[in-house]
Amino acid sequence: MAESQPTATLKQKLAKKKFDAEGVALNVKHTLSGIPKLLKSGIVVRNKGAMGKVNLFRGIAQYRFSCARQLWYSAYAEPDRVAIIDDFGEITYKEMLDQAKALARYLQANNMGVDGRVGVIARNSRIIPLLLSAKGFCGFNVYLLNVASSPHQLQECIEEHSLDAVFMDEEFGYHLPADWSKSKTYVAYAEDMDNPKVANPEWQTFEQLIAAAPSPSEEKLATFPKQGDIIIMSSGTSGTPKGVRLREPIYPVALPSIIERVGWKENLVIQQTASLFHAWGWANVNISIAHRSTVILRRVFDPVQAMEDLEKYRCRAIITSPIFIKEQLKAAKAGNYDIEKQEFVVNSGNILHEDLLHDLVGFFGPVVRNFYGSTENSVATLTDAEDILKYPMTTGKPAGGTRLEILDEKGNPCSPNEVGRIYCRNVMSLRGYTNPRDKAIMQRGLYEIGDKGYVDENGRLFVLGRADDMIIVGGENIYPRSVEECLFSMPGIRDLYAHGVSDENTFQRIKVWLVRDDNEAGAALTEEAVQEWVREKLMDPAVPRDVEFMDELPRNPTGKVMPRLLPGLD
């Protein structure tokens, strides 16, 4: 991949080579120390003895550390265990493996095997794990399309990437016209799979493809298949969607540290509300299948149903993001649910405000973890349950094999506790973007995440917010996140977002968009009250110039606010 920065000087090139060599040494170190940890973890089935370990490495040799490997091994170890509970019902590991291989044979027989391009626009269900597994068995590339895409964006994405096929949930079934011919079109989910409500009733469902797949003797899958890429369409919060090309490594160097800090165990029943079409969701369902867990996936998040699922299925862990767990916690407090003690509640995707952290710990116990990363870099840092209680604002220490640095505007390393831009890289970092128009910013062999923060003297990362969000008011550096943190605990506020706006007198000021709670405190909220709350707790330049009340903030399916859709943001 060609770097987007200007041509480097000889000194810069030598520095990068040295830094990359240090990265290789770091990966070797964490790989050697991590293998024994993996062998002792729940990834290796314990009742299979030496053969369990043999098949672990056999699977990695055949399929790398892909979803295909996780599914193959889990079906070998515990074929009758329920793998996924979703809006379709329940499916065991053996049933899921059979379906994934059948899909792989069908796609391979129809010239969509090695180097094929298969897109999927679907909400949480078995569909994405099935396609990711099928990819591992026959080598096509999977494009995880954003469910917030408009019909125009979807069509443009299919054409730009020359997709051979697209699997889509029924709700997107009219995003393409009935006579669409730029790609093959299949139905991923429908309320009635025998009668999908889509533009063309002739479009086949994934179940029909499985039924029509040639037998293993008619269409053989490779013993050592080529592993295609996973392309995640990441638009962030604004701009044209970017195709981020990722790969599944032979050995995931960061995995042992993730298992250790999160507290993964085999055979857990896990509720995952994090979206599968993003890196955070994809990574966790991969780890879940590797641990032979039962994962509950719902297409549409409903906080009451989430609590009912915890109770009904005796869930022991939650994988989520703040926008979901905040609403789920409200439902939990309003109801009377008999739930199991959670092993962990792990969050990512958005800021975990300190007040929300304390509320979660108060209800679920000291089991909350925080995970920080990006689509381009996958994992960067993560906390364990103990560290986050001592340092609520930290996102933790770098995962194994991850190189993370805070650099100043000139690309020089910052001292401990000095604020700068966050840069990161590991074996899971992007291989490149699918379109040359999209450029990765690199310094010292690391990719810029796009946030500002600092690392303390003990290596803990503290994220202050987006690098381009900081504003200067009266000579003071103001981060919108600090205003959000301040207002998060104000009674009557259900949701909020802060951002810098232009100001005639001070050039920039903070503006806040608020959603009122449906209660007496929410009804009593005024702009003046909000401003006074901030004035009492922060410096005067942080006081919002404007407060705009809204019925709902424009969030994408992963819970991030889309600033371009906010009224009055210049």
- Mean residue pLDDT of the chain comes to 89
Output 382-389 pairs: Cβ under 8 A, ≥24 positions apart: 382/257, 382/258, 382/261, 382/262, 383/261, 384/260, 384/261, 384/262, 384/263, 385/263, 385/344, 387/460, 388/357, 389/361
Secondary structure (3-state) at 134: helix
Per-residue confidence at 58, pLDDT binned at 50, 70, 90? Answer: confident
Residue-wise pLDDT for 437-474, tens only, equals 888 888 888 999 989 999 999 999 999 888 878 888 86
Rounded mean pLDDT, 169-190: 97
**How high is the pLDDT of residue 110?**
97
Q: Is residue 482 part of a domain?
A: yes
Per the structure, the complete domain to which residue 489 belongs is given by 471-565
What CATH number is given to the structural domain containing 523? 3.30.300.30
Distance CA 88, CA 106 (A): 21
Residue-wise pLDDT for 527-550, tens only, equals 999 999 999 988 888 999 999 999
Q: Has residue 75 got a pLDDT over 60?
A: yes
Strand partners, 537: none
Query: Could you give the dihedral angle defined by the CA atoms of residues 126, 127, 130 and 132, in that order, rounded to the nearest 10 degrees?
Result: -120
Residue-wise pLDDT for 494-521, tens only, equals 999 999 888 877 778 999 999 999 999 9
Residue-wise pLDDT for 327-336, tens only, equals 999 999 999 9
Q: Is residue 367 part of a domain?
A: no
Q: Has residue 479 got a pLDDT over 90?
A: no
Q: Is residue 480 part of a domain?
A: yes
- Burial group, residue 214, by CB count within 10 angstroms (0-12, 13-18, 19+): middle
Q: Is residue 129 part of a domain?
A: no
Distance CA 513, CA 336 (A): 33
**How high is the pLDDT of residue 2?**
37
Q: Is residue 483 part of a domain?
A: yes
Q: Are 296 and 268 in contact (CB under 8 A)?
A: no
Q: Is residue 240 part of a domain?
A: no
**To the nearest whole percent, how much of the chain has pLDDT over 70?**
92
Rounded mean pLDDT, 312-339: 94
**How high is the pLDDT of residue 43?**
80
Q: Is residue 517 part of a domain?
A: yes
Q: Is residue 481 part of a domain?
A: yes
Q: Using the structure block, give the residue that is written with the tokens 């520095």.
A: 15
Residue-wise pLDDT for 107-121, tens only, equals 999 999 999 999 999
Distance CA 317, CA 330 (A): 18
Provide the number of structural domains found in the chain.
1
Q: Has residue 383 got a pLDDT over 60?
A: yes
